[in-house]
Amino acid sequence: MDRRQLIAITEIVSERTPRPLLAPVLSFDLGEELRALRREKIYEAHGHNARTLIKHSEFRLVLIALRTGYRLHEQQIPERLSIQALNGALRLHIPTETLELRSGQLLALDRGLPFSIEALEDSGFLLWLGWSRE
pLDDT at residue 49, as a whole number: 95
Q: If DSSP codes are grouped into helix, strand and coil, which group holds residue 53?
A: strand
Domain, as residue range, for 104: 3-130
CATH of the domain at 104: 2.60.120.10
pLDDT for position 20:
79
Residue 14 pLDDT: 46
CA distance 93 to 81: 15
Tell me the mean pLDDT in the region 91-118: 94
Sign of CA dihedral 53, 110, 84, 71: positive
Looking at residue 133, its pLDDT comes to 58
81, 127 Cβ separation under 8 angstroms: yes
Could you give phi then psi for residue 105, rounded to 5 degrees?
Answer: -90, 155
Number of folded domains that form the chain: 1
What pTM was estimated for this model as a whole? 0.84
CA distance 42 to 91: 22
Q: What is the mean pLDDT of residues 13-22?
A: 69
Q: In what order do the strands lie in the sheet with 81-87?
A: 48-55, 59-66, 123-130, 81-87, 106-109
Q: pLDDT-based confidence at 21, cuts 50/70/90?
A: confident
Among residues 65, 84, 68, 86, which one has the least CA distance to residue 127?
A: 84
First-to-final CA distance of the chain: 25
Distance, in Å, from the CA atom of 97 to the CA atom of 131, rounded to the nearest integer, reads 25
Q: Is the pLDDT reported for residue 8 higher than 60? A: no
